[in-house]
Amino acid sequence: MSAEPATECAAILEEGRVLDYITGKPVKDSAKEQVRQHIARALFHEYGISVDDMAAGFKVPCDGRVRTADIAIFEPGTEHTPNNLRRIVVCQSEPKSGGKKRAVKLRDHEQARKDLEDLKDMLAAVPAATYGLWTNRLDFFFLKKQETRFDTRFEPLGDWPLADGTLGSKDVVSEAYLRRATPEMLRIAFRRCHNYIHGNEGMAKDAAFWQFLYLIFAKMYDERTARGELRRFWAGPTEQFDSAGQAAIRARIEPLFAEVKRRWCDIFGDADQISLSDRALAFMVSELAKYDFRRTGLDAKGAAYQEIVGTNLRGDKGQYFTPGGAVKLMVAMLDPQEHQRFLDPACGTGSFPVAVLEHMNRTFREAAGIQQGTDETTVEFLGVHERLREYTTRIFAADFDPALVRATQMNILMASDAEARVFHMNSLEFPGGSLSGVKPAQAWVRLGTMDLVMTNPPFGSDIPITEPAILSQYELACTWERTPDGGFRNTGTRKKSVAPEVLFIERCVQWLKEGGRMGIVLPDGILGNPGDEYIRWWILRHCWVLASVDLPVEAFIVEANVNILTSLLFLKKKTHQEKQAEDLTGEPLDYPVFMAVAEKVGFDRRGAPLFKRSPEGEELLEDQDETERVRYRGEWVTRTLKRKRRIPDNDLPAIAAAYRKFRAEHPEPGASGPLCGPSPATRPASRPTHSRPEQ
């Protein structure tokens, strides 16, 4: 499926041009320009600086020479002249060796001294300018100019103040000055933390990741338990740059992490210790402390976390971590509701549970008539926050890898500020098994009790299930033979080995209550290979097929580094009465099934973004309002910025919309329920007829 964009009044963007965030006009694209655009967006969304008070490429006279500030920031509401210039940003291209999958060594201010010369010269030449920033999107060097009677000095800072702020020692402690992160800047902050301890400390990548995880837990715990000046996860503006300040940060963080270990004793043990140097610990706390994780959007936190965890915990046991677009599509199509219990039995790093929480967060906000980060009051925030925490008690997950169990627990906690029940167990062995999560799972996630199951199981004939105790639980572990009427019969003979994804289909169906629904990622062979026809027959016997969506190979190549064609299969478990009715008639009736093929997922095989184009090949633009609620001159104000943006060439959102339209015309087959179609008495069952969405 490929949905055409609305082009009635669409603007176009010429090849090799990007839209300047400050002016809204096209400018020449380049690696440096990409960095400048990211920073300009962050200045508006994170720092609350109006684009009306910014200028791009501003000329600054310096001792008879003219130098250029990539972004100049002026006193609010004043003319753009050197006399009103307050902050200066210098940007450089991101180093080619610093790709997002690779940890690189970050420099300190002294090591970057030569790069900072132009910035210092411009600050020195403009008496009113106080703050400077030099960045290449990996290194960030914040400066504050200090003038005395005799000289001008430049003090390194951990961060800038917000739009109307002054950077005193307690600004970063006060909750009012913590800011919501943009997705791009939070990804950069997470990557910088990981790069610092892996590249600068010489730690192995997995060890660096767990040190990062400890501090994320400490940050979340501090936000949950502390108020105002009692906050402990903070760094003064200059603390990270001297030994006394670094020691003071450690004195706050180590007791905090000790409390974290006591609070989550089922996750952390005595062996979990902060082993970072004072310098590295101070750097990471300074990077993370400025953000309010509770108010930062779930999409931003999830994307940032997934980028780090995916490069460190990807295993060799068929663990193909699910692309974000596919996860969001599955959640959108199944549309979880507040009363429903959800399980992912092969959770990996927790992308499905977190996407369900993100979906519920949007649902709660829409019901309350609020948008995150705009007109949201404290009362509104707390109302949605508590509702989301309550829903987290209906979220369940499991994995046989203890590292992934901990990663999922962290991901869910960061998303909802609440713990879900994540079980360390082999889901195919359940309710048996000896791992630590089996006994609690027997109490919380008995077979036949789930409203929703979504999962991406491990794939592959090279990791077969061979244990007889496991195979004995599954009909699909047997040899099947065709019957004269075109069906299949279970011979009762157990196979010696079965691919795990086959057993996961049956296990997920077993976990559903009657009328429960599931989505599962499967290799295309399951749905097409002649030798797997008995699997498809078994599925039709036990389930209504709601939908099937084919994904292009790009989806898994870029995000999971796996060259595989996959499909998303959506099923609804039949009731016992529905199966009996089919047996009595002997010939199941037809029902429509939604089918779609995604040709584009927003990026190509190299990961480069794709955008909608006109027939002439020019990129299409659409209008977008960007709204932020920021603190300005002691009060909270709402600012709206009207800009155009390129339209991602991604079929998945259009497929989700087409499915909603399809369901409005064709209610779900099977038993009635809060979200289901008519009862069996008024709706025929059960052979699917394929219905593709309109092109």
pLDDT digits (tens, 9 = 90+) for 342-395: 999 999 989 999 999 999 999 998 888 876 555 566 777 778 889 999 999 999
Q: What's the token pair of residue 694?
A: 């309109």
The mean per-residue pLDDT over the stretch 292-299 comes to 82
Helix axes 351-368 and 402-416, enclosed angle (nearest 10): 10
Task: Out of 383-397, 413-427, 510-524, 662-676, pick the least confident.
Answer: 662-676
Q: Which CATH architecture has domain 14-177?
A: Alpha-Beta Complex (3.90)
Neighbouring residues of 396: CB distance < 8 A, sequence distance ≥ 6: 341, 342, 343, 344, 420, 421, 422, 423, 441, 444, 445, 450
pLDDT digits (tens, 9 = 90+) for 201-225: 888 877 888 898 899 889 988 988 8
Among all chains, which residue has been given the structure tokens 């196979």? 495
Domain boundaries along the sequence of the chain: 14-177, 189-289, 298-604+653-691
The pLDDT > 70 percentage for the chain reads 87
pLDDT digits (tens, 9 = 90+) for 11-47: 888 888 999 999 999 999 999 999 999 999 999 988 8
Q: How far apart are CA 563 and CA 559, in angstroms?
A: 11
Among all chains, which residue has been given the structure tokens 């399951």? 526
Residue 6 pLDDT > 50: no
| Whether residue 669 has a cis bond before it, omega within 30° of 0 | no
Q: How far apart are CA 657 and CA 681, in angstroms?
A: 29
* CB contact burial 233-268 (16+ within 10 A = b; e otherwise): bbbbbbbbbeeebbebbbebbeebbeebbeebeebb
Task: Out of 123-137, 153-167, 433-447, 513-527, pick the least confident.
Answer: 153-167
Residue 300 pLDDT > 70: yes
Task: Out of 285-294, 305-314, 527-536, 658-667, pick the least confident.
Answer: 305-314
Most confidently modeled range among 47-56, 473-482, 635-644: 473-482
**Which residue in 321, 42, 328, 87 sits closest to 186, CA to CA?**
42
**Highest CATH level, class, for 298-604+653-691:** alpha beta
pLDDT digits (tens, 9 = 90+) for 453-503: 999 998 876 789 999 999 999 999 999 999 998 889 999 999 999 999 999
Mean pLDDT of the chain: 86
DSSP helix/strand/coil, 2 = coil
Amino acid at 575: T
CA distances in angstroms from 620 to 19, 43, 576, 616, 647, listed in the order given: 12, 26, 52, 11, 6
Q: Do 14-177 and 298-604+653-691 agree at the fold level?
A: no
pLDDT band of 632, cuts 50, 70, 90: low
User: CB 479: neighbour CB atoms within 10 A?
Assistant: 12
DSSP helix/strand/coil, 431 = coil
pLDDT band of 298, cuts 50, 70, 90: confident
Specify which residues 637 forms β-bridges with.
630
Residue 437 pLDDT > 60: yes
* Exposed/middle/buried for residue 4 (C-beta within 10 Å: 0-12, 13-18, 19+): exposed
Number of Cα atoms under 13 Å in the Cβ half of residue 216: 28
The mean per-residue pLDDT over the stretch 536-540 comes to 96
Among all chains, which residue has been given the structure tokens 């979880």? 336
SS (H, E, C) 196-265: HHHHHCCCCHHHHHHHHHHHHHHHHHHHHHCCHHHCCCCCCCCHHHCHHHHHHHHHHHHHHHHHHHHHCC
Query: How long a stretch of residues is the chain?
Result: 695
pLDDT at residue 684, as a whole number: 33
pLDDT at residue 447, as a whole number: 97
620-623's contacts with Cβ under 8 Å and 24+ in sequence apart are 620/5, 620/7, 620/10, 620/11, 620/12, 620/13, 620/646, 620/647, 621/10, 621/11, 621/12, 621/13, 621/19, 621/645, 621/646, 621/647, 622/5, 622/6, 622/10, 622/647
